[in-house]
Structure 1
Amino acid sequence: MLDRFLPSPPAVVHDVGGARGAYALPLARAGYDVHLVDPWEPHVDAAAAASETQTAAPLGSVTLGDARGLPFDDHSADAVLLLGPLYHLVERDQRALALSEAHRVLRPGGVLLAAGISRFASTFDGLRSGAIADPTFAAVVENDVRTGVHRNPEPQSHPEWFTDAYFHRPDELHDELDVAGFGDIQILPVEGVGAFGIADDQLDDPARREAALQAIRRVESFPELVGASAHIMGIGRTARQQ
């Protein structure tokens, strides 16, 4: 998705909630001017240390900060990545602040890629793992589907049940981007129908992998299937003239 929607390097990318640099570091190596911000100091320290090791393509900056109040100037980026903040911000008004900030720092015609967790992700996970048979987890899943607010009542004994988060319906994510002022909005699945099962040897073979990817792309935009992906991506653009 980054290859498909990001402008060509050396575009400026703000990776908001970029953690240890899983996306920022390879994007910098690809020629982008990447500025990472994250709210947790150990992540920032790790990203800065990793940046120092790629001396030919370091990050433009690594900053401790919050998606709801970005340390960047207006119209300073060609692209903004929100590959985590929207599902870690449980309240809609807090997500709105993050989206407003992303819109503020984007240049005219800039692109946002904002990840969400599907409303139905815990259902999928519970069925796959067998945890759905646990009455406590089943109650979590029921609440997830009904409200979108995921709460782990036993984080110490069941860290695999994830942390507090918000799980979007695809139409909700579209609406949040729309209200924030983005246009040309697309909501696409991250895993897509590939999550239903692709053999590893199929992905290892280039020709078979490309055939699988073509099949996934063929149906990725069908609304009936988007929510069936554990993760979804909202793509939007700022107006060409602001």
Structure 2
Amino acid sequence: MLSPEIAAYYERGGEHERLAAGAGRLEFLRTWDVLARVLPPAPARIVDVGGATGVYAGPLAEAGYTVRVVDPVPAHVAAAGALPGVSAVQGDARDLPEPGASADAVLLFGPLYHLPERADRITAWREAARVVRPGGVVAGAVISRFASLLDGFVRGYHAEPEFPPIVRRALRDGVHRNADGQSRWFTSAYFHRPEEPAAEATGAGLAGARTVAVEGPAWLTGPRLTEFLADERLTGIMLDLLRAVEDEPSLLGASSHLLTIAHRPAP
């Protein structure tokens, strides 16, 4: 289901802590902010595809949802399945081990950026549309086409000669791939242009697809972001302002991640 390179990257265990601090923490808070506005109320049933170690599944279960994680990495399945109120199974986003119309919402927060072929991504969207009930919500996360370009400036990666060619290819065709096949920065992935995920969701038969920025440009502030996140008042101001511009077209490409929300048409 996953290439050996991608599987090895996730088997290192980075997903356990990735969303705990800095830009990762902002990603979590903003994603949760969007979910709170688009998900049906608990105790709805949610299928979390590519849910990793349950970083969203755990809080959703605590909030009263019934959550099923589907992930291709055995260690992720074990970790998520150990969380209270969460069940987990190994599976592929393109062939979900779930009955049709069995969920009130489906989350695609992992698979879309590890499917480099558009046909495979549409298949994943289509599987989510099959599993969700008519009128139910499907939300998919992607990485922005410009994420590695901007991250290279924030973290100083462009000073390393191997990095700019990787960025140039991602800018050209969306494919992020390390030259030596090793996951030195991030593993192999597909980076979406802002207009792509909504078009893919629509192509899979979903309706009302809209895309919002997750971190917006705030993730580029480096140490200042840590200061904001350490202050509850400043965090609240930041989240309020990012919510106000989350669907501003001119800012979508400045976000590291994008969320696309759609629904299965009712009969």
TM-score norm. by structure 1 comes to 0.91
Q: Which residue of 2 aligns with 1:40?
A: 73
Pairing partner for 1:217 from 243, 246, 257:
243
Summarize the Cα distance change of 1:131–1:102 in structure 2 as closer, same or farther, 3 Å threshold: same
Give yes or no for the alignment of 1:181 onto 2:214: no
Summarize the Cα distance change of 1:201–1:178 in structure 2 as closer, same or farther, 3 Å threshold: same
Q: Which residue of 2 aligns with 1:2?
A: 35
Pairing partner for 1:12 from 28, 45, 48:
45
Pairing partner for 1:100 from 103, 121, 126:
126
Give yes or no for the alignment of 1:233 onto 2:259: yes
The one-letter amino acid of 1:195's match is: W
Pairing partner for 2:54 from 10, 17, 21:
21
Q: C-alpha offsets along residues 79-126 of structure 1, whole Å, 9 cap, x if unaligned?
A: 101101000111111111111100001111111110000000110111
Pairing partner for 1:208 from 229, 234, 247:
234
Unaligned runs of 5+ in 1: none
CA apart distance, 1:45: 1.7
Partner secondary structure for residue 195 of structure 2: helix
Q: Which residue of 1 aligns with 2:11?
A: none
Distance 1:130 1:112 in 2: 36
The one-letter amino acid of 1:97's match is: T
CA apart distance, 1:136: 2.1
The one-letter amino acid of 1:26's match is: P
Summarize the Cα distance change of 1:41–1:129 in structure 2 as closer, same or farther, 3 Å threshold: same
Asked if the contact 1:155–1:162 (Cα under 8 Å) also holds between the matched residues in 2, the reply is: no
Q: Which residue of 1 aligns with 2:97?
A: 71
- How do residues 75-86 of structure 1 correspond to structure 2 at under 5 angstroms? 75-86=101-112
TM-score norm. by structure 2 comes to 0.83
Q: Which residue of 1 aligns with 2:190?
A: 166
CA apart distance, 1:201: 3.8
Q: Which residue of 1 aligns with 2:24?
A: none
Which structure 1 residue ranges, 4+ long, deviate > 4 Å from structure 2? none
Task: Name the stretch that deviates more: 227-236 or 185-194.
Answer: 185-194
Partner secondary structure for residue 187 of structure 2: coil
Q: Which residue of 1 aligns with 2:155?
A: 129
The one-letter amino acid of 1:4's match is: R
Asked if the contact 1:155–1:161 (Cα under 8 Å) also holds between the matched residues in 2, the reply is: no
Task: Name the stretch that deviates more: 194-203 or 160-169.
Answer: 194-203
CA apart distance, 1:238: 1.2
Asked if the contact 2:218–2:225 (Cα under 8 Å) also holds between the matched residues in 1, the reply is: no
Aligned pairs, number: 232
CA apart distance, 1:174: 1.4
Asked if the contact 2:210–2:261 (Cα under 8 Å) also holds between the matched residues in 1, the reply is: yes
Unaligned runs of 5+ in 2: 1-33
CA apart distance, 1:28: 0.9
Distance 1:41 1:216 in 2: 35
Distance 2:241 2:131 in 1: 36
Q: Which residue of 1 aligns with 2:170?
A: 144
Give yes or no for the alignment of 1:112 onto 2:143: no
Identity across the alignment (%):
48
Which structure has the bigger radius of gyration? 1
